[in-house]
Structure 1
């Protein structure tokens, strides 16, 4: 007996529906949204697991990687296409959505989406972190520029490496600004340290990718 499985992944819970070849319900249950919990439930099924599917959501890449590594035939499926299908079904609940996804897998009415490798996911995480730091640093720098302008001190164009030095120089003309600006500079400079760490991690990831690429 072939089994077709739909998962409705929430932040805390995952609804699981298992259908047989004929569309009969073999199992419907809810477990914590943890790969180990889902795999533990799947491992108890009697029959050949033909397909597992779930929508592309924040937890999908994590769940996909764990199920794939465990040897399951898993697909991450396109969200809008899935939602159009599920919208035709009555009584929208997590359990019913899981049943709808299982039905899609059974009849082949789904659109798989590409799931990035864990290495690619890690690089993306590093880039997101770096972008967040750079945005925060720019906000702090603009705040410092604004504070200096209130006292007639214009920072002008200055290289990032010389930014703190130039700010302290201007604060020497208006010492009353220092208590407000010094903590901002300290936060900015610490962010620069963390950005360098992220850059180093990205460089290591790039070298590892080059080493793994076929020559």
Structure 2
């Protein structure tokens, strides 16, 4: 007899429900949220699992990889669709959610989502951490501007390189204020240093990746955009065609009808279509359909 399983994931524990093909509950249990603990339940020879469903969340990629590597037919399902299905339940609980997910697997009523490869996950972490450090450094700079403005000290327009020098010049005659601001400048300096280190790592990754180098032949596409695109798409073959990645309309046509803001979005989507096609067919960017002969 065939079986389907549903997993309701929480940080500490995961509720597991296993159904047979008639919808009968064969086992319900809570285990620690770890692939090894889940495998001890799901790899029981008594089960002939057709699908193991889990809802997309922060832990789902880690758990999905662990279960998939063990050979289980695991499926990661779309969060909003799962919530709409589970909302019909009378009593909301982890156990009932696991039952609902198992039922979704059994009747084949779910929307699977792509789980990124480990390489793409690591690249997303790098991009996110780099951006976070940059934002925190800028936030400290803006806070310093606001604090000094309370004393009538106006920083004015100054670049990131000369920012510290300008601040120290302004507070030179105010030792109490200078002592406080110096701590903020030190924190900003450390953030900038760590940001620069991650940025260098990003540049090395982009330059060493064949796909990223090809995408960077497009005007305006640099290392950050190319690596972010590759990490987001992950596997280009999961899209039926390149048009599925973006809009069909040209940016200028949209701008005439709906304004420049919409045009920017359309242009980004159009760019995504071109980047996906270049990735799939191995070509580099060119301005016209055919190369002009001299």
Q: What TM-score results when the alignment is normalised by the length of structure 1?
A: 0.89
**8 Å contact from structure 1 (residues 153, 170) kept in 2:** yes
Contact 1:81 1:110 in 2 (8 A): yes
Shift of 1:30: 0.5
1:40-84 superposed Cα distances (whole Å, 9 cap, x missing partner)? 221224243211111112211221122122222111111222222
Residue 103 of structure 1, CA deviation: 1.1
What pairs up with 1:1-215 in 2 under 5 angstroms? 1-207=1-207, 209-210=209-210
Q: Report deviation, 1:122.
A: 1.9
Structure 1 unpaired stretches of 5+: none
TM-superposition CA deviations, 1:93-119 (whole Å, max 9, x none): 211211111111011111111222222
What CA distance in whole angstroms lies between the structure 2 residues aligned with 1:183 and 1:92? 49
CA distance in 1, matches of 2:149, 2:173: 12
Aligned length, in residue pairs = 215
| CA-CA distance at 1:208 after TM superposition | 5.4
* Kept after mapping to 2: 8 A contact 1:4/1:106: yes
1:137 is paired with a residue whose SS is: helix
Higher relative contact order (CA 8 A, sep 6+): 1
Structure 1 residues 120-174: Cα deviation after superposition (integer angstroms, max 9, x where no partner): 2222222222222222212211222233333433221111012112222222244
Residue segments in structure 2 that go unaligned for 5+ positions in a row:
213-278, 283-294
Deviation sequence 1:10-65 (CA, Å, 0-9, x none): 11110111112222222211001111111122122424321111111221122112
* 1:200 Cα deviation after fit: 2.8
* Residue 182 of structure 1: how far off its partner (Å): 0.5
Distance 2:8 2:111 in 1: 16
For the 8 Å contact 1:151–1:174, the answer to whether it is kept is no
Query: More strand by proportion, 1 or 2?
Result: 1
Structure 1 window deviating more from structure 2 (167-176 vs 123-132): it is: 167-176
- Over the aligned positions, Cα root-mean-square deviation in angstroms equals 2.2
Q: Which secondary structure state, in structure 2, belongs to the residue aligned with residue 52 of structure 1?
A: strand
* Counterpart Cα distance in 2 of 1:97 and 1:45: 25
Mapped to 1, the partners of 2:69 and 2:135 lie a distance apart of: 36
> What TM-score, normalized to structure 2?
0.67
Change (3 A) 1:36 1:89: same
Give distance in 2, aligned partners of 1:39 and 1:209.
35
